[in-house]
Each structure stands twice: as structure tokens, then as C-alpha cells.
Structure 1
Amino acid sequence: MTKRSAAAKRPRRERGSLNPEDIIEGAFELAEQVSIDGLSMPLLGKHLDVGVTSIYWYFRKKDDLLNAMTDRALSQYVFATPFIEARDWRESLTNHARTMRSAFLGNPILCDLILIRSALSPHAAQLGARQTEHAVASLVEAGLSVDEAFDTYSAISLHIRGSVVLQRLYDKNKEQDAQAGAYYDDIVVEPETTPLLAEAMAKGRKSGAPDDHNFEYGLKCILDHASSLIGTQQPAATSTPRRASKAAAAG
């Protein structure tokens, strides 16, 4: 998914040398220029300097190609995302969440493939499930029940994705119409009628905006709730997971 210089001209391809990896790499290069929505098989054929039928030999339709791109993007994304560790669950989960958000905000192609595009290949879905399994297992080890761990990571994931998708949709609207705004830009605040809103927003706050301040506040609230469930007045490594404690009590 690395960008190729726009000025660099791809050498003419020898007949029969095309392979799926070349097609996927070329598709990422082209998507950087025209976006996922603008990507098409004919344009990709021109970009690769091959006949479009050569691409259809490997990918029968655009969705098949997008699935392959998603598999690669998700594999790289999962590999680059920090794991959550039970011994320092709050710090590592915070780092995990911030890294996920930064990765999506910094790469619109990644965002469009994984978050906005609804279809995932079975391989991509399995990768996502394994990442979630590891996160839930670490939170259970830290002291949450399975249900609490699942709900906590689900809330974190939703918080990240919602923030990123809202920002991406805002950016897309701006690309199409420079005058386009967001709902949080249109809120009318008058000190005479809404003094509390005026006081808060005078400090740079925006109601409902997917900005850093709102993201960090929401993240802190989720983590604070998880902390209260665990009751971590002691280091997580010395605490006994409540699931195990309940099982022992029942025995």
C-alpha cells in the first residue's frame, strides 16, 4: 500500500507476466489517485498497461478485486496494531485505540476498504475475529468477565470506527463540494439563549465532532468504566479474574 511517485512511469509489461499480486499493487496505486469509488477495471488496465481482459482472468468483477485489496489491507493493519496486554491493560488498550484511529485517519484507502465498504471476504472476517478474540482474552485476564470484556472492546471499536467514518464522510463531502460543512459546524450558539454551550464552545469544543478532544473524552469514559468493573486498586497482574473467582466460589 505504499504510494508510488506520480511522476514515475511504469515500464511496459511483457506479455504473460501479469499476476494477481501485480494487479493488487496496481489497484492500490490507482486508488491513491482516484479513490476506491473511482477505481474501475478499465482504468486499472490502462494503469498497468494491459488489456482489461487480463485482469478479469484473475478477478471476475470489481468486488473480487476489492476483497483481495481488503485482505491485504487488513493483514497489514492488524499486524501494525499494538496488542492489548493484561498486565497493563489500560495503557495498552489506550495505545491500541489511538493507533487504530490514526491508521484509519491517515489512510483513506484503508478506511474505505475496511470501515465504509460493507462486504468483507471470509479471510478478512477471520482476521478481524482473531484480533477481537485476543483483545477480549487479555481483558478477561485483567479481571473482567467475558461479557464485560466483550462489551468493553466492542464499545472501544465502535467509538474508533464511528469517529473515523464521520471524519471520512466529512472529507469526502469536502472533496465534492468545498462549501460543504458538517452538522456540528452549523450549530448556532448565542450567549443570551444558550450560555452553557457558548461557554464550552468558546474553548474550542464542538458538539458531536469526531475530533481529538471528543475522541479522548469518550475513550476515557469507557476505560474508567472498565476500571470500576475490575476494581483495580492493585496491579492487574496480582488481581484474580472475577470469572475464575466466581467459578471457585461455586465449586
Structure 2
Amino acid sequence: MARQATAEKRQRRERGSINPEDIIKGAFELAEEVGIDNLSMPLLGKHLGVGVTSIYWYFRKKDDLLNAMTDRALRQYVFATPYVEASDWRETLRNHARTMRKTFLGNPILCDLILIRSALSPRAAKIGVKEVEKAIAGLVEAGLSPEDAFDTYSAVSLHVRGSVVLQRLREKNEAANEGPRDLEDTMNIDPETTPLLAAVTQKGHHIGAADERNFEYGLECILDHAERLIEQNKAKTRKRSAKR
């Protein structure tokens, strides 16, 4: 079962002593205890020691509060995952993907707000776009066309987000103890009828699981494809130069 709300009672604040920053900060504190799904305005009021009407004065509904939390989470995420140039484009993109995944897996609240809920204000969304532009510019400089650079970064981003969301959903299913945790739990692998599957899974490989092995394999496949595209572009450039 998911953890039930257990906010401690606090000394009641004076009327008008709460502000939006206090509310958002308190919402994050409470979400760490009970999760985003169980966060409610009445429970937050108890956590902050104010009447729920004091919260509704600034945030008319829960979605408004979650939007504000998501905007702040995105700023925290961008700060935690800067696109730091390494010695070559492949190392840079690989490190960036690993950092993104590590940041989300290490903070379930960030994952729930940014990836699963993903409702951003125009201002917050603009922050993320600048980071993407920087990444794509680096790939173009490495030798990809703008289109291939865009598709490469998009593929890496989707791969990271997909693996994190699948892992997060597995954790939620485990906590709730409701049904299979992931695809592999629904499969009946019989050594007699599916010997290849049985042999490989016995060695620690998993089907449809967002584990480290699957993540790294998929990431290297994307990077390999990008490297082939760069080499193709270099070959075309050499041919054009030879004809002159």
C-alpha cells in the first residue's frame, strides 16, 4: 500500500503570515513524505499550520500548485544536469544522458513532476529549450547535420526519460503491490519452449526492464548510429573536395 498521509501537526500560523514561497517549499517537504499522488491541499494546510483557505488564496486548485512545483523542479533539474562539454562529443552526450538518468532516479519527486506530469509554464519551458539548443549546437559542430543532431539528442532524451519512467512505475507498482511490476513479470519463460530466453535471463539479462544494462546498451546504439552519420558526412566532404 502507498504510504498514508502522516503530516505532523504544527503550531498554527497567524493569518496572512504565509506566502507562495512558503507554500511551495512546504509542498515539496510534504511530497517527500507522502508522494505527489497523495499530496492534498487540506493535508498541506496541516503541514504548514495554516487554514486551507490561506493556500487557496494563492493557488486556487491543486493543479495550480503542482504547476508551480513543476516549474521549480525544472529549474532544479537544469541546475543539476548542465550540459558540460567533455573531450569529445560522444563522451559529452554519454555523460549528459547518465547524469539526467541519475538525477531523476535519485529524486522521485522530480521524476513525477517533470516526466510523468510534465506541465510547464512558458517561462520554465524556455529554460529547458536553451539547454537543448546548446546540446544540438555541439553535435552540429561534431559533424552532424542540424536535422541529425536534433534527432540524435531527441533519441537520447526519450531513451533517458523512458527508462526513468518505467523504473518509477515499477517502484510504484511494488509499493502498491498491485499486479505485475513490469513486462517481464507477465512472461512465463519455460526452458523447454523458450530455451534462448531462459538461458539469457538466467545470466541476469532482463526483457523490458529499465535496468542499467538495458539503458547502457540502448544509449550506445544511439551513439553508434550518430558516429556513423558523422563519418558519412566526412566522407561526402572528402569526395566534394577531391572533385574540385
Q: How high is the TM-score relative to the length of structure 1?
A: 0.85
- Aligned residue in 1 for 2:128: 128
* Offset, 1:47: 0.6
Letter paired with 1:128? G
CA distance in structure 2 between the aligned counterparts of 1:175 and 1:131, rounded to whole angstroms: 34
Deviation string for 1:22-56 (max 9, x for gaps)?
10000001111111111111111111001111111
Structural mapping, 1:64-213, within 5 Å: 64-85=64-85, 87-177=87-177, 180-213=180-213
* Offset, 1:11: 5.5
Number of residue-to-residue matches in the alignment: 233
CA distance in structure 2 between the aligned counterparts of 1:98 and 1:10, rounded to whole angstroms: 40
* Offset, 1:206: 0.6
- Aligned residue in 2 for 1:235: none
CA distance in structure 2 between the aligned counterparts of 1:36 and 1:85, rounded to whole angstroms: 34
- 8 Å CA contact retained: 2:9, 2:47: no
- Aligned residue in 2 for 1:231: 231
- Tell me, what secondary structure is at the counterpart of 1:193? coil
- Tell me, what secondary structure is at the counterpart of 1:181? coil
- Tell me, what secondary structure is at the counterpart of 1:38? coil
Percent identical among aligned pairs is 70
- Aligned residue in 1 for 2:222: 222
- Aligned residue in 2 for 1:56: 56
- 8 Å CA contact retained: 2:180, 2:186: no
CA distance in structure 2 between the aligned counterparts of 1:10 and 1:139, rounded to whole angstroms: 52
Letter paired with 1:209? A
- Tell me, what secondary structure is at the counterpart of 2:35? helix
CA distance in structure 2 between the aligned counterparts of 1:133 and 1:31, rounded to whole angstroms: 32
Deviation string for 1:164-216 (max 9, x for gaps)?
11111111111111664322123222232222222211210011111100000
CA distance in structure 2 between the aligned counterparts of 1:53 and 1:7, rounded to whole angstroms: 18
**Structure 2: which 5+ runs fail to align?**
1-5
- 8 Å CA contact retained: 2:8, 2:46: no
**Structure 1: which 5+ runs fail to align?**
1-5, 233-240
CA distance in structure 1 between the aligned counterparts of 2:51 and 2:115, rounded to whole angstroms: 31
CA RMSD of aligned residues (A): 2.4
Q: Which moved more, 1:62-71 or 1:126-135?
A: 126-135
- 8 Å CA contact retained: 1:82, 1:95: no
CA distance in structure 2 between the aligned counterparts of 1:35 and 1:183, rounded to whole angstroms: 24
Letter paired with 1:73? A
Structural mapping, 1:29-48, within 5 Å: 29-48=29-48
**Cα gap change, 1:223 to 1:157, in 2 (>3 Å):** same
